[in-house]
Amino acid sequence: MTVYSNLAEWRAARSAADFPGRRVGFVPTMGALHAGHHALLERARAECDFVVLSIFVNPTQFNDAGDLAHYPRTLAADLALAGDLVDAVITPGEKELYPDGYNYRVTENALSRELEGVHRPGHFDGVLTVVLKLLNLVQPHRSYFGEKDWQQLQLIRGLAGTFFLPGEIIACPTVRDPDGLALSSRNRRLSADARVQATLFPWIMENSADAPAAAGALQAAGFAVDYVADRDGVRLGAVYLEGVRLIDNVRL
Contacts of 65 (CB under 8 A, 6+ apart): none
Q: Which residues of 36-55 are buried (b: 16+ CB within 10 A; e: fewer)?
A: bbbbbbbbbbeebebbbbbb
Determine the residue type at 86. V
Q: Per the residue annotation, which of 37, 70, 123, 141 is the catalytic one? A: 37
Cβ burial of 95 (10 Å; 0-12, 13-18, 19+) is exposed
CA dihedral 8, 60, 56, 187 (to 10 degrees): 180
Would residue 37 show up in a list of annotated catalytic residues for this protein? yes
Phi, psi of 25, rounded to the nearest 5 degrees: -105, 150
**Hey, which residues does 251 pair with through a beta bridge?**
234
Contacts of 57 (CB under 8 A, 6+ apart): 30, 31, 68, 71, 73
Return the ∠ at Cα 92 (arms to 86 and 97), rounded to 5°: 130
Query: Which amino acids are annotated catalytic?
Result: 37
